[in-house]
Structure 1
Amino acid sequence: MLGYDDKRNFLRLMVNAPCEVTIKDNESNRIVHAVCRDISSTGMSLEIGESSVEIGTQVEVSIESTSTQISSLLVKAKVVRCEPQGENACVVGVEISEMK
């Protein structure tokens, strides 16, 4: 059934697109490959091949477009949740602070 069951202010777009995430933590900036599960105007859900990412960590997410009609996306965001998905993966929720 189609409907608006989610209690969010903005609808999510399911994308399941490969992306690169630059994790900017105290140790260094590191790039990991991930999958952007979904995106809205204020946040994203990312499946990352890391056991965890600290809440509050700043990240940059780059999604390359495969279409000439759709631009690539670069997002600056902050981690607001992290849910482990097995030993070496987690799903990270980020709050978008800037889109380019």
Structure 2
Amino acid sequence: GIEPPKGVLLYGPPGTGKTLLAKAVANESDANFIDISGPELVSKFVGESEERLRSIFDEAKEKAPTIIFMDEIDAIAPKREEATNEVERRMV
């Protein structure tokens, strides 16, 4: 009766196996795996970044159970008060 976590943050320098670990967890738990890179989500057009993010979560919902692995999230997610442009403010 343990509730599964809604999210896990894997932190570390590049090349330490974070993606491999997430893929292994998805494989062992018979879950689908969606791997996206943070910069892939960013668009200069208003609303497009949010739409991409919504479509990823819609796909995950359709194919549940799913593990969504967001790599390089630090590239698009500065601290809110340090966001320098509108896209960063909307995405965070």
TM-score (norm 2): 0.22
Structure with more of its chain in strand, by fraction: 1
Say which structure, 1 or 2, has more relative contact order (CA 8 Å, 6+ apart).
2
Structure with more of its chain in helix, by fraction: 2
Larger Rg: 2
